[in-house]
Amino acid sequence: MSSTRIEHLIDEVQAAFDRRPTDIEPGLDVTDGALLQLRKACRLLAGADSLRDARYDTLVIEASFVAIERTVEFRLFEQGAMQPDDLPGTHPGVYREAAAAGIFSEAIAADLEDLWRDHRAKTYFDLLPRLKTRESHHGISGRSNRPSGFKTHTSQASLAG
């Protein structure tokens, strides 16, 4: 995929986000920013729960971390420590803001940040050596599981087309 194509797709996504939704997701039609964050956290957990049985572990882990953040944001909004326009914009930032507002200690904020940074992605990368061993033991190449048209280059992967 060329840079020009990627830039075009990013522009399309940005335009889609710039359009105001005409229909709000059921349950999220509230005017209180704190309640909205809490309901989003609940929706994320409900979605993760339904995906867990289907073994979409990646989505379950990611949704769980985002649900934690939305819950923390709920408390920040509820206590008046933050407004919707003031969201930190980073995963660790929300934990630091919560510690600064006294929602939990600096140690808890650091633990949550470490959990997010050290273990979220690590869950998958720790499996790679075992998967490679299993593939080599069975004479399987990881390439056989790639979609048709998938090409790898020295440092870049792209879909042909």
49-100 pLDDT, tens digit each: 999 989 888 889 889 999 999 999 999 999 999 888 888 878 789 999 999 9
13 within some domain: no
9 within some domain: no
Q: What is the per-residue pLDDT across 46-61, written as a single tens digit (0 to 9) for each?
A: 999 999 989 888 889 8
Q: What's the pTM value of the predicted model, to 2 decimals? A: 0.68
Residue 142 has pLDDT above 70, yes or no: no
* Structural domains counted in the chain: 1
Q: What is the mean pLDDT of the chain?
A: 80
How far apart are the two ends of the chain, measured CA to CA in Å?
7
Can you give the pLDDT at residue 138? 53
- Tell me the two tokens of residue 117: 């940074």
- Tell me the two tokens of residue 23: 């229909």
14 within some domain: no
20 within some domain: no
Structural domain harbouring 77: 32-137
- Where b means 16+ CB within 10 Å and e means fewer, 55-85 reads eeeeebbebbbbbbbbbbbbbbbbeebbeee
